[in-house]
Amino acid sequence: MNLSITIAGVRFPSCFMNAAGARCVTREELEALGRSQSGAIVTKSMTLEPRQGNPEPRYYGFPSGSINSMGLPNLGYRAYAQIIPDLKRFQKPVIASVAGFGEEDFVTIAATINECRPDLIEVNLSCPNIPGEPQIGYDAEASERLLKRVRKVVSVPMGVKLPPYFDPAHQEAMARVLERVGVDFLSLINSVGNGLVVDPEREAVVIKPKGGFGGLGGTLIKPVALANVRAFWKLFAGRLPIIGTGGVISGVDAFEHLLCGASAVQVGTVLVEEDLGVFERLERELASVLARKGYDSPAACRGKLKEL
């Protein structure tokens, strides 16, 4: 079955791709994604300066998911500006994930990266704001100020990667911001922040940074991801393409995201755990679910979730 999809006028050969941060930091990793069955190459979220990230262990996988506090290890935007044009040869979309430690960083990075013509830019709002304040995505005013400035310097399709919201009022406030800014797609959701995983044998936390607190991914966050995809699909009445992220480890998980309104799906934890062969498996599994259900493409079931 043909699993290709289109987002903001850009054609993706498959609806599956890596999530920002999963096996996409170095040139080697990005090229390996290019050679894989991934439907796109999504870069690690890039910052102004190169970063080593937090001390290890900083990622821990367990049966129902993962916890991480990576600390944005990345090569710095200048390096990605060199690499992105070389990724064109793989003939699949390149999505540049832009981060920062303040409004100015985002604008500088987005302006330079836009010049390299990635196919799309994903602005990662799960970034620290002023110390003591919540991450940018949890501050509607800060998000609006930042996105309005970034929008001015970006001419390729621009999307926003949002943190999970747990209250419809927060989703509605962010939807109004996005309406005013004018974005081309959404990536939902980033890690569920500030979880804590305990190893009872060692009587200890499992990652070193921040006393063990970290972002959660994998199966355990799927209902939160589906809820955010569904909520934003409804808020925009299906007009804004959504890339669903969170808890996809099988073709059925991807099907659930599509039913909720996603056009495509990103995979983080399962890609870290299983490596690049995961794309072939997920494509085979989704194709089989779609065929069994009588759908001839991912788009055919998009948003078709029934309510009781």
Ligand X SMILES: Cc1cc2nc3c(=O)[nH]c(=O)nc-3n(C[C@H](O)[C@H](O)[C@H](O)COP(=O)(O)O)c2cc1C
The region of 143-151, 254-262, 264-272, 282-290 touching ligand X under the rule CB under 6 A is 264-272
CB nearer to ligand X: pick between 263 and 296 = 263
CB 44 within 8 A of CB 24: yes
Closest to 240 (Cα-Cα) out of 267, 266, 261, 265: 261
Binding residues with ligand X: total (CB under 6 A): 29
- Among 84, 95, 178, 272, the residue binding ligand X under the rule CB under 6 A is 272
Residue nearest ligand X (C-beta atom): 21
Residue written as token pair 């001390």: 55
Separation between Cα atoms, residue 243 and residue 139, nearest integer Å: 22
Catalytic residue among 15, 127, 260, 301: 127
Give, as ranges, the residues between 46 and 105 that touch ligand X (CB under 6 A).
59, 66, 68, 70, 72, 97
Q: Are 74 and 47 in contact (CB under 8 A)?
A: yes
Distance CA 117, CA 100 (A): 20
Measured distance CA(45)–CA(100) in Å, rounded:
9
Q: Does 267 bind ligand X (CB under 6 A)?
A: yes
What is the C-alpha end-to-end distance of the chain, expressed in Å?
A: 30
Nearer to ligand X, 43 or 114 (CB): 43
Q: Which of 159, 247, 261, 298 binds ligand X (CB under 6 A)?
A: 247
* Residue 135 makes contact with ligand X by CB under 6 A: no
Residue 209 touching ligand X (CB under 6 A)? no
Q: For residue 66, which amino acid is it?
A: S
* Residue from the set 12, 14, 17, 21 that interacts with ligand X by CB under 6 A: 21
- What is the chain's length? 308
Catalytic residue flag (residue 127): yes
CA distances (Å), origin 262, targets 72, 87, 238, 254, 295: 26, 25, 9, 9, 15
Which residues contact ligand X by CB under 6 A? 19-22, 44-45, 59, 66, 68, 70, 72, 97, 124, 126, 161, 190-191, 217-218, 221, 245-248, 267-270, 272
Which positions are catalytic? Answer: 127
